[in-house]
Amino acid sequence: MNTKLLKSIKIAVIICLFPVVSQAQIYSVEVTAGAFDRLHSIVSFYLPADFEPGEYHLQSENDENTILQVDEKNRAWFILDELASGGSKRYILNSDQKIEDLSVYSLNYELDENTITLKTGSSRVLSYYHGENNPPDVLDERYRRGGYIHPVYSPAGIILTNHLNVDQHPHHSGIWSAWTNTVFEGRTPDFWNVHLNSGRVDVDNGAIVPIRGSVFTGFKSNHRFADLSSPEEPEIALNEVWKVRVFQPGNGYHLFDLEATQTVNTDKPLHLPEYRYGGIGFRGHADWDVPENVTFLTAEGMNRDGHGTRTRWTHIGGRSDGVLAGIAILGHPSNYRHPQPVRIHPDEPFFNFAPQQMGDMIIEPGTPYTARYRFITYDGEPVPKLLNRLWDDYAWPPGVSVVKLNEED
């Protein structure tokens, strides 16, 4: 046999007997509290592109284990239990310490033909219609749709939202997204008031992507804003992507984030003339249709008279089936025209942040419009001190420094 060939066979055998073992990636992750005391704070940061998504153990210097969730975009998330202002805490992340069995963790979801329900343990947080709702007989097919959140629950299971209300605004759907006063290609479709037959928002069917993890569970879904006033056939004016994440940061409240990103579907912009409402809306429980049964509270201490004011957060709550519960909607500083003015209805349980109150807006081709909101649900009265702390965490999260360690480290 050829000597060179024999030598190459021997080398191949040696390689097969002694395979190359991939080296673990080890990182130092240092978290700094900044100017705020931190308690059950959501922390996120990015890892290198070759870091595998999944769940991992973060080990602190005093050998405490914290669960880290890494998503498909290499963004990592964990809950910081406690850290005083000005303080820091260091963790070690080892890619070999991946958690394979997630059954012991409480965040999960249930998916059926029409809805996805996000849960923490046995407690439901919210449901989202990725399919179709089921309108009562008195409402026609215009109200058959999906693409919105309902119900939303308090920690004790009290329902806080409403939809398909035959007595008041049946087009209001829990937590939903739509624009009212618009101009598109010279037409004026109203995507909010579906009964006017000029526009509507629907789910891009089959596009929901559920997410399950030990730090958050959620979903991604796509919506279409259809201009029904187009002379030939409906034209899609906007495409929208929703990202919803439910976290379990602490006791006594539920917390979930909604991020909505809109892009125009053609090379034509969508104009949004000045108007009193539109965007992400919230419709409260049917019992709150009676004005005396519902209260509002802004971060500045205003009630229904807070309409038109600019604020960081707003509470809406009341008695549902005789039990007091509520929800606060927190606006992110990255939102357009933050702090955004709010629409608080003078009689009904309706609320939304409405940046177009401050003047005309426009969504241009190539420039997405993104709105971010955090929702806190609770039982009993709102606690402004808690809501201010949670807004600080949302607006100014803890800082993170990530350093890859060498072998000798």
Q: For the segment 314-336, what is each residue's pLDDT rounded down to a tens digit?
A: 999 999 989 999 999 999 999 99
**End of a domain among 71, 103, 135?**
103
Q: How confident is the model at residue 20 (pLDDT cuts 50, 70, 90)?
A: very low
Shared domain for 33 and 149, answered yes or no, is no
**End of a domain among 53, 76, 103?**
103
- For residues 309 and 300, is the Cβ–Cβ distance under 8 A? yes
62-96 pLDDT, tens digit per residue, is 888 999 999 999 999 999 999 999 999 999 999 99
Neighbours of 29 (CB within 10 A): 23
Number of domains in the chain: 2
CA 252-307-201 angle, to 5 degrees, is 80
Q: Is the dihedral of CA 116, 209, 29, 331 positive or negative?
A: negative
Q: What is the pTM of this model?
A: 0.93
DSSP structural state of residue 168: S
Residue 20, domain member (yes or no): no
In whole angstroms, how far apart are CA 347 and each of 42, 296, 326, 402? 36, 11, 17, 50
Q: Which residues contact 32 (CB under 8 A, 6 or more apart)?
A: 87, 88, 398, 399, 400, 401
Shared domain for 99 and 179, answered yes or no, is no
Please report, for the domain that includes residue 370, its CATH number.
2.70.98
Shared domain for 51 and 169, answered yes or no, is no
Residue 298, domain member (yes or no): yes
Per-residue pLDDT for 4 more than 70?
no
96-145 pLDDT, tens digit per residue, is 999 987 776 779 999 999 999 999 988 999 999 999 999 999 999 999 99
Give me the domain span that covers residue 71: 26-103
Per-residue pLDDT for 16 more than 90?
no
Shared domain for 40 and 131, answered yes or no, is no
264-298 pLDDT, tens digit per residue, is 999 999 999 999 999 999 999 999 999 999 999 99
Residue 16, domain member (yes or no): no
Residue 366, domain member (yes or no): yes
**End of a domain among 55, 72, 103?**
103
Looking at the chain, the whole-number percentage of residues with pLDDT higher than 70 is: 93
Residue 325, domain member (yes or no): yes
Structure-token pair, residue 383: 């606690």
Q: Could you tell me which of 354, 352, 350, 280 has the C-alpha nearest to residue 318?
A: 350
Looking at the chain, the whole-number percentage of residues with pLDDT higher than 90 is: 87
173-231 pLDDT, tens digit per residue, is 999 999 999 999 999 999 999 999 999 999 997 679 999 899 999 999 999 999 999 99
Residue 7, domain member (yes or no): no
Shared domain for 193 and 327, answered yes or no, is yes
Please report, for the domain that includes residue 89, its CATH number.
2.60.40
